[in-house]
Amino acid sequence: GAGAVMGSKNLKGVVVWGTRDLFSLVVDRRRWIEETGKLSQRLANAATSKALHTYGTNLLMNIINSIGGLPTRNFETGYFEGAEKISGEYIKQHNVSEVHGCALCPIACTQMVEVKSGPYKFFGKAKYEYESTWALGANLGNGNTEAVLKLEKLANELGFDTISLGNTLATAVELAKKGKLNLPVDWDDPASFIDLAVKTAYRDGVGDDLAEGDYRLAMKYGEPEAFVGSRGQGFPAYDPRALKGFAISYVTANRGGDHLEAYSPTWEVLGVPEKIDPLCETPECVKKQVNLVIYAQHLMALADSVTFCKFDTLDKEGLFENDLAHLFNAAFGWDTTPQEMLTIGERIFNLERLFHVKEGKWIKDELPPRMRREIPTGPAKGHSATKMFEEGIKEYYSLRGWVDGKPTYETLKRLGLEEFQYLL
Amino acid sequence: GAGAVMGSKNLKGVVVWGTRDLFSLVVDRRRWIEETGKLSQRLANAATSKALHTYGTNLLMNIINSIGGLPTRNFETGYFEGAEKISGEYIKQHNVSEVHGCALCPIACTQMVEVKSGPYKFFGKAKYEYESTWALGANLGNGNTEAVLKLEKLANELGFDTISLGNTLATAVELAKKGKLNLPVDWDDPASFIDLAVKTAYRDGVGDDLAEGDYRLAMKYGEPEAFVGSRGQGFPAYDPRALKGFAISYVTANRGGDHLEAYSPTWEVLGVPEKIDPLCETPECVKKQVNLVIYAQHLMALADSVTFCKFDTLDKEGLFENDLAHLFNAAFGWDTTPQEMLTIGERIFNLERLFHVKEGKWIKDELPPRMRREIPTGPAKGHSATKMFEEGIKEYYSLRGWVDGKPTYETLKRLGLEEFQYLL
């Protein structure tokens, strides 16, 4: 990502400052203070905020596993028998020593962990998250609490994206077990994962191949199915065969294999705005999933632009387009509407897609082959992502005004993006 | 060393070849074949050769510990309570999977070890030695067999001198325990040692300090005594307070802290050419030690020049100056004598010393302060290296024809090195 580009240019950071009082830009200070204060209080009291504060994102481990959607051993199955020991509850009890938050955040979700002795001891504290714990735990068949936390610490120190590192190691293990890569690694083999993380960071030996990431690694060693993702980006910590919203969300994500462009557990697990059974694939469920994915893609595009935390959108008492409209109106004296806010999100999402159209690569929305197979074990046994994807993607294109992954001229026109019609 | 210089120049190796048949240079082929054949057979049958073949160099662990001369926790004491599990006998039984030798070697001492599972698993096999096992084991208070072997493998992969790495880590632990270095490391803390080895190799964070080595690390953090060595080079796996030959040998070694310029356990442990009690410091013992150190320094200088293995000199049936003279005479039709051979060694040793004289640094032969303290525990409890050093060094200079670590003009003249008199 951007960090790697900066690193390759020897750019360590960008410092920006100004001389104007930002608060002086706010036209209605009283309303602004009132609106932000109310919102902050509401967020602080929301049940999801409290749970996040107590356990951090890893409160998801046991929940997602109990649904049968916890990708295990490179998405071989959706149920990890060792999940309990890498769950938020277990780690809270054994390893969390501090809880932090970003400045002024009413949630404060950051759990700091320690491993003070034993073979996986590390110096100081480590920030730890659900996605990382899944990627370096369940997805590697690794249920050793301290080994997982050590790997998270190491990944952070070495500058890895933990999800990509976990997926790459998982691909490597699968290749090795299939005899395509000559490396004595196995699932649940943390000593090797630690070695390989270091070798990958420094492109030492086989690490030079691993540093290319899961997609290129699987291609190089002739086993495309060992890469599980879309647009060359590995999937994160939810199996779209069991949490079917992701059969649309992951696949259509412009960044590829991304849970943060439309976080479907919001409705499938947290019931926001309404509860939808993650395993349901009736025509009605498909329709609802597609509608919610599109809505969420616009709201998340707004979050990325305005820069508000997506954890604010996980509770009915959270922050949504109506709050955004209120805040903008309070700040700048506008009279924008929630719908106008979402349309900005839609424009962003279409613009992102136009980038792929321009580059001529990754235009097609594709479900990786493994997701068409049935989950072999656990609560979601027998489920695949095929139906939700096949039926959902048609509905999705139709609702978006797209054809084969591309916006039509009419869609660009509707969004005021005619200037980009030359790309079509 | 030379490898680091080559590395810094991006020089990976030097390939040399020629077109002339080397064997055609030998003037008396029959005698040459006879002499080398006899020697090879004698070496193969020597008791020390057989022991080295069976256990490798690490047969020394239990022996040196039983003398009370196994440096433990940065030379705090000479007895390591956990030696058994890192001994040659134990590792032979649990981890050695192959024994190798250099081409045509009648000894074949290389023990290849494996750790196939657990937190210290590593890929493939590792070469392992006594010095490395001591440096990354006893000297770090680390009696975990598999952790020590993993560290040896890692050190080899990362290109470390294992002794220097172990000494540097030991210095770091001592500094940390004394509150001079802010690092939560302790003795017997292999997870941290592994982390620090990687950080040191890549000069990451505190590794940037450690990469400077034990001497500079101790100086930088204001604790000179935490460096135990001479001429800036840490001592290896024998405590000179218990194996007193090293109180002369280490200290006068031109390379600094070196056991291979005069390997005094040859007589103290193996009784070659005669057994000398390693703890004895009577005037007679001092005299014998000094004489043997000087003799060995010349023989070892020859070994380094001719390139024969020093393990050939550990048995009464081994290879010595008389064999060398025989071989040279057989090969080239010379009529050199064993004494002439040793004089070549003496010239080399004096030339090396002249290098220090020229550079103006490291001329003085000094015993590090910790070696003047008494060993606090174990079989050599109460012993220090002070007496052997103080009395031995006078005898040594007198026998060499040196003053304060420098050869005199008369000595240079005797050795045919007058051309270097300008350095004095």
> Same domain for B145 and B288?
no
CA quadruple B276, B281, B284, B290: dihedral sign: positive
> Looking at the domain assignment, is residue B182 inside a domain?
yes
A195 touches chain B (CB under 8 A): yes
Name the residue among A121, A202, A204 with its Cβ closest to that of B192.
Answer: A121
Name the residue among B122, B147, B184 with its Cβ closest to that of A123.
Answer: B184
End residue of a domain, out of B227, B254, B271: B227
- Cis peptide bond prior to A273, omega within 30° of 0: yes
Residue B330 CB partners (closer than 8 Å, separation 6+):
B26, B28, B31, B32, B34, B35
Between A18 and B311, the more confident residue is: B311
pLDDT score of B360: 94
- Is the confidence at residue A242, as pLDDT, over 80? yes
Confidence at B97, pLDDT banded by 50, 70, 90: very high
pLDDT score of A349: 98
Residues of A with Cβ-Cβ distance to B198 under 8 angstroms: 198
**Nearest C-alpha neighbor of B380 from the set B72, B143, B99:** B72
Instruction: Name residue, tokens 């920030």.
Output: A127
Q: Given an 8 Å threshold on Cβ–Cβ distance, is B191 in contact with A121? A: yes
Residues of A with Cβ-Cβ distance to B122 under 8 angstroms: 191, 195
Give the type of residue at A5: V
pLDDT in tens, A123-136: 999 999 999 999 99
Residues of B with Cβ-Cβ distance to A173 under 8 angstroms: none
B123 touches chain A (CB under 8 A): yes
From A9-18, A49-58, B125-134, B370-379, the region with the lowest mean pLDDT: A9-18
Confidence at A24, pLDDT banded by 50, 70, 90: confident
Six-digit token string for A357:
């159209």
Confidence at A62, pLDDT banded by 50, 70, 90: very high
Between A32 and B210, the more confident residue is: B210
Six-digit token string for B43:
């070496």
Q: What share of chain A has pLDDT > 90, as a percent?
A: 91
Average pLDDT over all residues of chain A = 96
A84 SS3 class: helix
Residues of B with Cβ-Cβ distance to A194 under 8 angstroms: 194
pLDDT in tens, A217-237: 999 999 999 999 999 999 999
> Looking at the domain assignment, is residue B213 inside a domain?
yes
Confidence at B370, pLDDT banded by 50, 70, 90: very high
> Same domain for B201 and B340?
no
**Nearest C-alpha neighbor of B49 from the set B110, B106, B92, B99:** B106
Averaged pLDDT for residues B117-121: 97
Averaged pLDDT for residues A40-56: 96
Domain count, chain A: 1
Our CA-based measurement puts residue B99 at a distance from the nearest CA of chain A, in whole angstroms, of: 21
Six-digit token string for B275:
């057994």
Q: Given an 8 Å threshold on Cβ–Cβ distance, is B124 in contact with A190? A: no
A188 touches chain B (CB under 8 A): no
End residue of a domain, out of B197, B227, B257: B227
- Is the confidence at residue B274, as pLDDT, over 80? yes
Give the type of residue at A101: G
Residues of B with Cβ-Cβ distance to A125 under 8 angstroms: none
Question: Does residue A349 contact residue A297 with C-beta atoms inside 8 Å?
Answer: yes
> Same domain for B243 and B199?
no
> Same domain for B190 and B83?
yes
Size of interface A-B (CB pairs under 8 A): 42
> Same domain for B297 and B408?
yes
> Looking at the domain assignment, is residue A99 inside a domain?
no
Among chain B residues, the shortest Cα distance to A194 is held by: B119
> Looking at the domain assignment, is residue A152 inside a domain?
no
> Looking at the domain assignment, is residue B318 inside a domain?
yes
Provide the residue range defining the domain that includes B408.
Answer: 25-54+239-424
- Is the confidence at residue B271, as pLDDT, over 80? yes
Strands (E) in B40-142, as ranges, are 96-100, 110-113, 126-128
> Same domain for B344 and B380?
yes
Q: Which of the residues B146, B149, B187, B198 would you substitute to probe the A interface, choosing the one with the greatest number of A C-beta atoms within 10 Å?
A: B198
Residues of B with Cβ-Cβ distance to A176 under 8 angstroms: none
Residues in chain B, total: 424
pLDDT score of A408: 97
Residues of B with Cβ-Cβ distance to A198 under 8 angstroms: 198
pLDDT in tens, B158-168: 999 999 999 99
- Is the confidence at residue B31, as pLDDT, over 90? no
Averaged pLDDT for residues B343-357: 98
Our CA-based measurement puts residue B128 at a distance from the nearest CA of chain A, in whole angstroms, of: 19
- Is the confidence at residue B1, as pLDDT, over 80? no
Average pLDDT over all residues of chain B = 96
pLDDT score of A311: 96
Averaged pLDDT for residues B91-100: 97
> Same domain for B214 and B260?
no
Measured CA to CA, the distance from residue A327 to residue A33 in angstroms comes to: 10
Averaged pLDDT for residues B143-154: 98
> Same domain for B116 and B178?
yes
> Looking at the domain assignment, is residue A143 inside a domain?
no
Helices B29-45 and B321-332 cross at an angle (nearest 10°) of 150
Give the type of residue at A316: K
pLDDT score of B2: 79
Confidence at B3, pLDDT banded by 50, 70, 90: confident
- Is the confidence at residue A22, as pLDDT, over 90? no
- Is the confidence at residue A350, as pLDDT, over 90? yes
Q: Which of the residues A144, A149, A181, A195 would you substitute to probe the B interface, choosing the one with the greatest number of B C-beta atoms within 10 Å?
A: A195
Confidence at B198, pLDDT banded by 50, 70, 90: very high
- Is the confidence at residue A97, as pLDDT, over 90? yes
Instruction: Name residue, tokens 């080595």.
Output: B213
Q: Given an 8 Å threshold on Cβ–Cβ distance, is B183 in contact with A123? A: yes
Q: Given an 8 Å threshold on Cβ–Cβ distance, is A119 in contact with B150? A: no
Confidence at A204, pLDDT banded by 50, 70, 90: very high
Name the residue among A116, A157, A190 with its Cβ closest to that of B119.
Answer: A190
B300-B305-B306-B308 Cα dihedral, nearest 10 degrees: 50
> Same domain for B89 and B36?
no
> What is this model's ipTM?
0.87
A147 touches chain B (CB under 8 A): yes
Confidence at A31, pLDDT banded by 50, 70, 90: confident
> Looking at the domain assignment, is residue B6 inside a domain?
no
Confidence at A94, pLDDT banded by 50, 70, 90: very high
> Looking at the domain assignment, is residue A393 inside a domain?
yes
Averaged pLDDT for residues A255-282: 97
Q: Given an 8 Å threshold on Cβ–Cβ distance, is B123 in contact with A184? A: yes
- Is the confidence at residue A1, as pLDDT, over 80? no
Instruction: Count CB atoms within 10 A of the CB of residue A73.
Output: 18
CATH number, position B321: 1.10.599.10
Our CA-based measurement puts residue A120 at a distance from the nearest CA of chain B, in whole angstroms, of: 6
pLDDT score of A20: 85
A119 touches chain B (CB under 8 A): yes
Measured CA to CA, the distance from residue A155 to residue A120 in angstroms comes to: 14
Confidence at A162, pLDDT banded by 50, 70, 90: very high
Confidence at A35, pLDDT banded by 50, 70, 90: confident
pLDDT in tens, B6-22: 888 999 889 998 888 87
What 3 state SS string does A331-375 have? HHCCCCCHHHHHHHHHHHHHHHHHHHHHHCCCCCCCCCHHHHCCC
